[in-house]
Amino acid sequence: MSFERVKNYLAPFGLADRCIDLKDSSATVALAAQALGTEEARIAKTMSFLLDDTPLIVVVAGDARVDNHKFKETFHKKAKIIPGADCEKYIGHRPGGVCPFDLPDTVPVYLDVSMKRFDIVYPAAGTDHSAVKLTLEELEKASRSRGWVDVCKNWE
């Protein structure tokens, strides 16, 4: 089960106890916010893209939208979302549970500045009924982020 894999992945960081197995669905930002009793903006959306045939993850605030121009300026390619049917193949998680943890080593993770206004955020924990309560510093370390990017709009 993907939730257990994520918990095991987060254990060496001392974060396994932060994983939340939810009774209600967290498959969308709105559902996750409702299930957790928090605002949608604090849901850390894990967006999965293909640059040519190489997967890439960008974690963004729940109220942010990817700005195609900013994305292309940053990554030098047009933003192309991984189709849901291919998500597990490239990322190792199914849609609704895609998270920046327990990924193939070849998948780089970036964090968007839209999240920097929060002390606590909630990314998924590998399933569409899960979340992890993390500080930004914890998210940065546990995701093995390659850095912060500014590729979103509509959150300011």
State which residues form the domain around 25: 2-153
pLDDT-flagged residues of the chain (< 50): none
The model's pTM: 0.95
Give CA 82 to chain center in angstroms: 14
Per-residue pLDDT, 79: 86
Q: How many domains does the chain have?
A: 1
CATH code for position 51: 3.90.960.10
Give CA 98 to chain center in angstroms: 6
Question: What number of other Cβ atoms are within 10 A of residue 112's Cβ?
Answer: 23
